[in-house]
Amino acid sequence: MPPSDHGGRRPGAGRPAGEPSQRIRVPESQVPGVLAYLEAYRSPAALEAPRPLSLDPSTVALTAFLSRVPAGVPSMADADVDDVVDLNEHLVLPGHAPSTFIIRVSGWSMIGAGIFDGDEVLVDRALAPRQGDIVVAMVNNELTIKRLGKVDGHIALLPENAHFKPIVFREGETLSVWGVVTRSLRTLR
């Protein structure tokens, strides 16, 4: 019988020897989230990628005030409560929780955009990147955060610090955008 080109034993394939498998059931409403989680874990950046936000996030309700606080001359604060804000709904785009991650930034190449070493950014992998977006991209098998733009007609990753050089992609080179930055979070105390 000739050897088959499919099926059979392959080195490194399947579950570890002797480890039992189990079939699980997932509510239909949770299938997109589970699939997004698995896709993110199977991506080339899985080793460097942070874990996704919980598929069933807890609600954090904070009181929001209608009035704004001026950063200049002090004024009387309104005691009128406008609403209660759920941070999940406030920070994550509707329906994008499974594709939204928090990444801690390392380095100073984005200070002009107000993103500093140690800040955390929310990154949405479901958004299509557009020129001008701040993105997390895979360059030489490492994640980096830069602004998506162009240099001399070539796609480039642009730093927001004059001490850093743009990463320019020439013909034949490919850029892999891991996700689009939607928010920056900074700890002040």
What are the beta bridge partners of residue 122? 102, 183
Measured CA to CA in angstroms, residue 35 lies from 39, 40, 55 at distances of 6, 9, 11
**Per the structure block, which two tokens stand in for 151?**
């240099």
User: Catalytic residue numbers?
Assistant: 109, 146
**How many angstroms separate the CA atoms of 168 and 146, rounded?**
12
Closest of 116, 137, 119 to residue 179, by C-alpha = 137
Place of tokens 């930034």: 105
Within the chain, residue ranges assigned H as helices are 31-42, 87-91
Query: Which DSSP string do the residues of 87-106 spell out, in sequence order?
Result: HHHHHS-TT-GGGEEEEE--
**How many angstroms separate the CA atoms of 36 and 51, rounded?**
11
DSSP collapsed to 3 states, 164-177: CCCEECCCCCCCEE
